[in-house]
Amino acid sequence: MDGFEVRRLRRASGMSQTEFGIAVGISRETVCRIERSVEHLDRRTELAIRYVAEGKAARVPGLSEIHEEVAHILDQTAVRGQPPYDYRERVQSAAAHWRARQGNADLERLFRQVEGVLGMLNVTPPSDRIRDHAIRDLLDMKQKWRAAAPAAENVHSVTPAA
């Protein structure tokens, strides 16, 4: 498969380079280099590109869905007192999707804060006094995140031209 074919498949799928890269599991820059035939495709990437182009991959969720996913992770953590085992991947994926959808830039800082609070809870033993502080931070983070929900839903996604 050459770069021209990759570009044709991506465009036929209606995705920007960023969205296509997220779906395939590579960066936007790598998609660009592949399309320009500067970077060679390995077999795994070629298969992933074909899979995504055929429409079998999950779509990039909307801004409100992304926001709700992070809110759910925060709720799970507050109830259990411990973040879900896959919290880091889920938050990082949500942040990547948020950027791909050109979500509100102010929430980028909140994504990093969410990762920090969840990471602190993940490594702090239950008997440690620092954990009490981290729980308070989590509850504060939940309020900030929920307060940002209306702003998240009012942002209109504009797909960047690739």
Summarize pLDDT for 16-36 with one digit per residue, the tens.
888 888 888 899 999 999 999
Confidence at residue 35, expressed as pLDDT on a 0 to 100 scale: 93
Whole-angstrom CA distances from 161 to 18, 90, 119, 158 are: 10, 27, 35, 9
Confidence at residue 66, expressed as pLDDT on a 0 to 100 scale: 86
- Phi, psi torsion values for 123, nearest 5 degrees: -105, -5
CA 79, CA 75: separation in Å to the nearest integer? 6
CA 128, CA 104: separation in Å to the nearest integer? 36
CA 49, CA 24: separation in Å to the nearest integer? 6
CA 122, CA 140: separation in Å to the nearest integer? 17
| Cα atoms found within 13 Å of the Cα of residue 44, Cβ hemisphere only | 3
Confidence at residue 34, expressed as pLDDT on a 0 to 100 scale: 93
Low-confidence ranges of the chain (pLDDT < 50): 152-162
Q: What is the pTM of this model?
A: 0.58
Confidence at residue 158, expressed as pLDDT on a 0 to 100 scale: 40
